[in-house]
Structure 1
Amino acid sequence: MAGESVDFKLFRYNPSLAAAIIFIVLFFTVTALHFYQMLRTRTWIFIPFVVGGVFEVIGYIGRAIAAQQSPNWSVAIYSVQTILILIAPALFAASIYMMLGRIILVTDGEAHSVISKKWLTKIFVTGDVISFLMQGAGGGIMASGTIDAMHTGENIIIGGLVVQLLFFGFFIITGILFHARLIRTPTQKLYSNSLPWERQLYTLYGASLLILIRHDGTDGLDTSK
């Protein structure tokens, strides 16, 4: 065990201060813009999105601090930045799920959805909450700082990411099927209103793709670098 303790490192790569600062600026700017738009349009479904953005900003501030501590990283700083950066996308996903429900509502396209609007948000947000709790619990276990806790916490976090991936994959399939059916058989609302529903769906696809590819592992080859 003594040898294992010597070889163990919190980070398996050297955090980049420059990258952390860039992400702080980007997430702060985008979050501030979404917060303003949310208040201006009273689009409260974006509350989770804004909170997720705040988590990202704080998380990358922690990452910037950690970058200056190498190789003597603080367990507290490591835990805070890891937890916040990991769980923030679950909050982004919650707003994305609710946005699809809003698109289905304004297009009067519930008949084209494989899941009724009543259950769509509930099902996917439930999966999101499970993933959120698993990742948060895993991060909390890692915060104890012992080697066994680090490994256990990592496994729980990976399990949470798998849950998120499964629900998110099903969500994307649901969105694509709805999109295809609505194009094939437009509703009356699409004829009577110039709704930007298709542009909004493409925006959801893009945001979903970014969430899916955000994490490749703990060897530094990921977006949390």
Structure 2
Amino acid sequence: MTGQPPTQTDSATEIQAKRLASVAHLARPVQHDINNLLTVVFANLELLKRTAAVGGPQRQLDRIQEAAKRLEGSTRAILSLLRRPVGQTAAFKMSDILRPIHPLLVLLLPTGGALRLDLPEEDPPVLVDRAAFEDALLAMAREAAETMPRGGALSMVLEKHGGSVALAIRHPEGMTLPGLEILAALARASGGTAELASDGLQLTLPVSAPAG
């Protein structure tokens, strides 16, 4: 069980799994505490901005507010990953997968401007293993950080086409990102299609029929 100390018979993999399970149990209360603390930060920043002098003081408060928003996005993303069940295929909106993980992808890439995310205002749900899809996206970002040429960028464009949702991932010509192959396999396993090219991946996933 999670609360028991490791024994000599436990393998390194089992110990790591138990540790991750313990950390996952902390994710929700930690997120709740961070939300409370950031609520105080944002509320007081707004009060300070009402009375701060125009110019430098206002710009400094804007930078603090922007930093707090980035902290909120990054912590929310990593704590959500810890709570995510693995090995489960269910109906999700692709935008609800891409938008929360975006801060972590940006952190992994060489520069903050190395990733462009273009999402529609509304997209229908598709069947996908969310945890596996997120893992593949993170792997892709790590690989891109190691091989992307200086000044290069990634883009992810999500669109709805009839009865399917299309996701185009583009990178500089000639890069090799094994994470894209995993994404392609996940799309095919969910009944979709995937086309790998020298400049990225184009995948489609069929819209999930409503339950019942």
Write 1 or 2 for the structure with the bigger share of helix.
1
**Same-fold call, TM cutoff 0.5:** no
Q: TM-score normalized by structure 2?
A: 0.31
Q: TM-score normalized by structure 1?
A: 0.30
Write 1 or 2 for the structure with the bigger share of strand.
2
Higher relative contact order (CA 8 A, sep 6+): 1
